[in-house]
């Protein structure tokens, strides 16, 4: 059985969780689960352990199973340790027709890993995901908050080379966004 007692979000993250929860009527805090899971992921090296999900359940005052259900449904949440940059290549129809599969093979070869794996240096994790709503600019991939579109092998290779030098974790919600959340409306 997991225990969340060793998990502690930063004061900024906790404040942001409260700010987001105040958007919802009393007793409906569960509706804040998606942004709070993004915060949790930014606070926890880019992935959600059972302990972190239990901690989130405590914040939302819901059962842990309710958090597991949501976190395991959406591909943007990682349930095992990941690299600093998680590459999410869209593999749905339009992207597939325009070469997503070949793009995945290209990235696998370039990084020396298979889909679902992380490079030994902990820099990249490669995932395939369903439609990211950018079908008009297929094929595409998402890394952190950024969409990379109209990809060719050459363009994709250059993008990955740029990320290689990055020291910090790249997540859907940057740690900066959690620290400085004045742009997040209450």
Q: How far is the CB of 53 from ligand FES (least distance, A)?
A: 28
Among 58, 64, 94, 157, binds ligand FES (CB under 6 A): 94
Query: What does each C-alpha distance from 163 to 4, 84, 99, 168, 171 come to in angstroms?
Result: 32, 9, 22, 10, 13
Can residue 103 be called a binding residue for ligand FES (CB under 6 A)?
Answer: no
**Cβ nearer to ligand FES, comparing 14 with 131:** 131
Longest dimension (CA), the chain: 52
Q: How far is the CB of 113 from ligand FES (least distance, A)?
A: 22
Size, binding site for ligand FES by CB under 6 A: 12
Cα torsion 9, 51, 22, 32: sign: positive
**Angle of helix 50-60 versus helix 33-43 axis, rounded to 10:** 140
User: Within 127-186, which residues bind ligand FES (CB under 6 A)?
Assistant: 131-135, 138, 140
d(CA 98, CA 83): 27
Token digits for 115?
Answer: 């889909």
**Cβ nearer to ligand FES, comparing 45 with 92:** 92
Residue 21: CB atoms within 10 Å: 20
Q: How far is the CB of 105 from ligand FES (least distance, A)?
A: 17
Binding map of ligand FES across residues 37-76, x = CB under 6 A, - = no contact: ----------------------------------------
Q: Can you give the binding site for ligand FES, defined by CB under 6 A? A: 90, 92-95, 131-135, 138, 140
């Amino acid at each position: 059985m997991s225990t969340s007692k060793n998990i502690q979000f930063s004061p900024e993250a906790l404040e942001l969780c409260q700010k987001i929860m105040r958007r919802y009527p009393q007793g409906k805090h569960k509706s804040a689960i998606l942004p709070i899971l993004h915060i949790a992921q930014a606070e926890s090296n880019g992935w959600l352990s059972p302990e972190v999900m239990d901690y989130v359940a405590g914040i939302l005052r819901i059962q842990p199973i309710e958090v597991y259900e949501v976190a395991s449904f959406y591909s943007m949440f990682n349930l095992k340790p990941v690299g600093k940059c998680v590459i999410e290549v869209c593999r749905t129809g339009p992207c597939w027709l325009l070469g997503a599969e070949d793009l995945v093979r290209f990235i696998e070869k370039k990084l020396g890993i298979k889909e679902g794996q992380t490079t030994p240096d902990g820099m990249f994790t490669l995932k395939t995901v369903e439609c990211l709503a950018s079908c008009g600019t297929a094929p595409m991939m998402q890394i952190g908050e950024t969409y990379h579109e109209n990809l060719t092998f050459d363009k994709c290779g250059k993008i990955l080379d740029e990320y290689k030098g990055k020291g910090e974790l790249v997540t859907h919600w940057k740690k900066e966004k959690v620290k400085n959340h004045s742009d997040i409306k209450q």
